[in-house]
Chain A
């Protein structure tokens, strides 16, 4: 094969992957809309899909069902979709930046950091607003990310994948211990269990607005750096050799993770494994280009969490199961599969 032929086949491969990603993206959006509809319709009292349609497009404030849909179920379903996509995109960016297939918000301590900050704020400033909580969550996620990356960067031999994951385990362990200490001392442990388990029941229109705000910043930035992340995921040397400023890319990547994870945790607590599993599935479907991985991850992550939330409400109705437990049911076998795989020489 000559060079031009190689190039041609590469371009053909790329176009076919882009085409495939586009199809997956569009089908994913359709599935997401259907699952949001189902999520709104299914619950302790089942509501017909036709009523859901009416509640959205010809709203009648006199009907209880319409009220339930508008004020409780719709914001919850949309919130779940947004949170799922945020966690998945965070995970994808982390995996790309660190070249570590196990990197994800919960495993690297970011969610623990956000939860810790929320617990402190709730104990010492109980009158805090939702917006205040979101910012506390950003700050906590930020502290964890900065700690983890600092440990990795200031250590001998640099920011290796193993070191980063270890630093994540250590920082996460310490922050969750501090959370336990505070919540035990101030006797709010039971209320705080919410943040350990992941729970979408508090999602309202205000939280959706907060999520949308964070999403515009985080997702756009993720798309902007996606090409750079692809190159960085090939290795630090390759990236530097191509004249890339790796520090800038990493900093922007950290901001993406911080904004998206912080917003997600402030609304739903620590929902694990979405950020681990989805990027792998996306990579399997569309290859190693993060310009494709990031949008596909966003759609699939949203889909996963909406479905998990339906499961959380139905599995033991009328009681709710923590949604984090449902995502763990899906995520743990997947994690074990990754761990057993040949690529486990991390």
Chain B
């Protein structure tokens, strides 16, 4: 037993450090590539403050804030998915499946439809109002799902199914609004809904950074509770947990993280599903280890997807959410085939 736990712990640190190195490598690759290519030497020179003005502009004002957001959002979606999976005891839970992405998307599209003549005219204050609407939409969806799934308590399976249903309803409403938009706005809305890191300015990063980091750290603190809930209803009650209360609180936490991420990057599907899965296979079901590994994995996956999306058909870009889905579904299907 002791031998096993030592092995588990060293495996955890080994995983964490290799993920960290991989993220650094990917960051470096991503800083090099794009419409404006910057040679590795120049990247290092610019980071040290020795680059020319144009390189500084591209790196510091465009690429770095975007990559930092990608790291944050990736970690956030991953952790949110891991909490949802732990709490609902269902490995298929993810913010996308529970209708949170679509709820946020609907709120944003409705906002654009009613308050903006077109998506292009959003500027100034609008940049901050949009995420606010996304958050409101995310919470509305989550509360609706929870309320509709309530039947003398919330059964995890029912929660997922109700989430799928609410999701479908929101998608239908969304398409009605989308179809009434002009083609440019329609395309922009589609890009946003598919998941795209758009608010790439430092002020936007600073507005989100403290919240996402604080909530992720708080989730780490809560991980023993998730472990207990993950054992199942009866076990959890037997161990003295106030199941429904804790579950509700953790769900709220997961929704808040996902809502912030959707506000920054739109509806990225499957990331919250796949990152915890991979993490669980590497370090097992203990959430003290699972959550940090998931966070780094989520960041890495989103970073890779962002780099691919930016370069594969350059100068055009594919929304990062689409890349995540296309890249991660084969793995998800592989998992599905392997597990019993």
Count of A interface residues, CB-CB < 8 Å? 47
Choose among B162, B175, B316, B337 the residue that contacts A196 (Cβ–Cβ < 8 A): B175
Decide if A130 is an interface residue (CB 8 Å cutoff).
no
One digit per residue, 1 when the CB lies within 8 angstroms of any chain B CB and 0 when it does not, for chain A 302-346 equals 000000000000000001011011001101100110111000111
Contacting B at CB under 8 A, from A196-217, are 196-197
Contact at B165–A332, with CB atoms within 8 Å?
Answer: yes
Across the interface, name the chain B residue whose C-beta is closest to A166.
Answer: B336
User: Which B residues between 288 and 340 are near A, CB-CB below 8 angstroms?
Assistant: 313, 316, 318-319, 321-322, 325-326, 329-330, 332-333, 336-340
A180 contacts which chain B residues (CB < 8 A)? Answer: 190, 194, 319, 322
Check if B190 sits within 8 Å of A331, measured CB to CB. Answer: no
Let me know if B281 is at the binding interface, CB within 8 A.
no
Is A193's CB under 8 angstroms from B158's CB? no
Residues in A neighbouring B202, C-beta threshold 8 A: none
Query: Which residues of A141-196 have CB atoms within 8 Å of chain B's CB atoms?
Result: 151, 154-157, 163, 166-167, 169-171, 173-174, 177-178, 180-181, 183-185, 187, 189-190, 193, 196
Determine whether A262 belongs to the interface, using a CB cutoff of 8 Å to chain B: no
- Whether the Cβ atoms of A177 and B178 lie closer than 8 Å is no
- The prevalent SS among residues of A at the interface is helix
Report the nearest B residue to A107, measured CB to CB.
B164
CB proximity of B43 to chain A, nearest CB, Å: 28
Residues of A within 8 A of B149 (CB): 339-340
Chain B residues with CB under 8 Å of A345's CB are 157
In the assembled complex, the Cα of A234 lies from the Cα of B253 at a distance in Å of 43
Q: B47 interface residue, CB < 8 Å from A? A: no
Task: Determine if A184 and B168 form an interchain contact, defined as CB atoms under 8 angstroms apart.
Answer: no
Cα separation A345 to B175 with both chains bound (whole Å): 31
- Bound CA–CA A331/B164 (angstroms): 12
B92 pairs with A193, CB closer than 8 A: no
Specify which chain A residues have a CB less than 8 angstroms from the CB of B161 in the assembled complex: 102, 335, 338-339, 344, 346
Size class of the contact patch on chain B: 35 or more
A339 touches B165 (CB 8 A): yes
Main secondary structure of the interface of B (DSSP, over half): helix
* B269–A187 touching, CB < 8 Å: no
Please give the distance in Å from A231's CB to the nearest CB on chain B.
27
Known: A156-B339, A339-B162. A328 touches B318 (CB 8 A): no
Asked if B172 CB lies within 8 Å of chain A CBs, one says yes
Task: Tell whether, in the assembled complex, residue A325 and residue B165 are in contact, meaning their CB atoms are under 8 Å apart.
Answer: no
User: In the assembled complex, which residues on chain B have CB atoms less than 8 Å from the CB atom of A301?
Assistant: none
Partner of A331, one of B168, B191, B338: B168
Contact B337 A335 (CB under 8 A): no
Asked, given contacts A174-B329, A328-B168, whether A185 binds B175 with beta carbons under 8 Å apart, the answer is: no
Q: Which residues of B sit under 8 angstroms from A173, Cβ to Cβ?
A: 269-270, 325, 329
| Residue pair A332, B194 in contact (C-beta under 8 Å) | no
Smallest CB separation, B36 vs chain A (Å)? 21
Residues of A close to B157: CB separation below 8 A: 344-346
Chain A residues whose CB sits within 8 angstroms of the CB of B176 once the complex forms: 197, 321-322, 325
Q: Report how far A319 CA is from B169 CA in the complex, Å.
A: 21
Query: CA A167 – CA B337 in complex, angstroms?
Result: 9
Known A-B contacts: A173-B329, A346-B157. Give 9 more (CB < 8 A): A167-B336, A177-B322, A196-B175, A324-B175, A328-B168, A335-B161, A335-B164, A340-B148, A346-B161
Among all A-B residue pairs, the 4 with the closest Cβ atoms: A328-B172, A339-B161, A155-B337, A332-B169
Can you spell out 7 A-B residue pairs with CB atoms less than 8 angstroms apart? Answer: A184-B191, A197-B176, A322-B179, A335-B164, A339-B162, A340-B148, A340-B151
